[in-house]
Structures are given as structure tokens and as C-alpha cells.
Amino acid sequence: MVTESTAALIDAPELVTTQLSNGLSCDLPANSPLAKMLRSQRTWIGPDAKQRLNILREAKSIAIVGMSPNPARSSYFVGTYLLQSTNYRVYFVNPNATEILGEKVYPDLASLPEVPDIVDVFRKASDIPSVMEDVLAVGAPAIWVQLGIYNEEAARHGEEKGLTVVMDRCLKVEHARFHGGLHLFGFDTGVISARKAVR
């Protein structure tokens, strides 16, 4: 005999547990518009500010994959900043160039003279999985995917393989704000300080 409570359970919609960006979770009907919208949103977060600072502090070398010889491109701007304002050993990777900013350009990560501590990526989101495989193949510990570029599936895959993954953040902006050049939210404070910047 089917009771009223059993019938209610049978007719109840399937629930899905949804992880929210604030770390909380809730159960929603799987076919609800809200559940569908939340499934399309980002759930992968990545390292927090302190962790990103540690990544930058511990690194000695950075390779820029997708480095462009075009001064109008963001990779060129970031490469210039890293060469002029940091003590990192900086390598440029681009199979279609031989020299940028007076530096030798390598065709791929495997051609670099050392395994970089961070691989900074300027490639479209659909290219990130293949770049991730290249990073894993050479044994680099961290991949930093530039601002505006996001591939959640690739981020999760990289983490599962032991990579430290930063995504959709500008390495130059992060480095500058951690070292006194920018406000916490990324804005130039305009404050002149005698404090020596940490490189």
C-alpha cells in the first residue's frame, strides 16, 4: 500500500547538492532554473591571496607560453615587467618567434634550459588542456593562466595531477600588488613610500 508520504517521495524531484562560491552548499531540484544556472557558473576557486603570494615568492624562474612580439599584447607587457622589475629568470615560449625584447624565444617548454617554477600562459581557453599536458610533461610545479582565460575542467585535471593552478589572474598585477605597487584590489594607490619592495 502506497501511503501519502511515500507517494510524496516518489513524486519529489531529484535533488542535487550545489556548491556555492561562498563555500556553502544547498540542495536544489535538479531540473530547476537556479540549479541549471549554478551548474554553468564557476565552482573552482584556486589558491587564495596568501597562497598566490607564496607561489610568487618561492619561484625563481617563469616561462611565458604564448609570448607575443607585438607591444600591444598583454603578454609583451607582462614580459617587459618581469624582465625589468623582478629577479626571476624569464623565458619566452613561442614557436613562431626567435627573439623578443632582446631575449631568445624557445619553440616549446621542453626546449627550455631549465624546468620553470611557474608557467604563465597566454593562450585561449580551449588550448589550456594541451598546455597543461606540456607543463606536466616537463615537470613544472605551477601553471598560471592569465586574466580572462578560464577552463575549469583543465584546472581540476591539473590539480588532480599535482599541479598548483592559478587561473584568470594577471601575474604582473598580482606581483605588483603584493610588492607595494598596487592596492589590494589592483588599483595604483598613488602612495610614495620609502619601503623597499620585495622582489
Q: Domain residues of the chain, as ranges?
A: 4-40, 49-178
Residues 6+ apart with CB under 8 A from 90: 61, 62, 63, 64, 79, 82, 83, 103
Looking at domain 49-178, does it have CATH number 3.40.50.720?
A: yes
Which grid cell sits at 34? 537556479
What is the residue whose three cell numbers read 540549479?
35
Give the Cβ contact number of residue 24 at 10 Å: 8
Which grid cell sits at 100? 623578443
Give the Cβ contact number of residue 81 at 10 Å: 18
pLDDT digits (tens, 9 = 90+) for 128-169: 999 999 999 999 999 999 999 999 999 999 999 999 999 999
pLDDT > 50? residue 106: yes
Percent of the chain with pLDDT over 70: 72
Which grid cell sits at 162? 599535482
What span, in angstroms and rounded, lies between the C-alpha atoms of 166 and 83?
21
Contacts 24+ apart (CB under 8 A), 78-83: 78/120, 78/122, 78/146, 78/170, 78/171, 78/172, 81/172, 81/175, 81/176, 82/171, 82/172, 82/175
Q: Taking the model in full, what pTM does it have? A: 0.72
Mean pLDDT across the stretch 88-102?
97
Which residues on adjacent β-strands are paired with residue 96? none
pLDDT > 80? residue 196: no
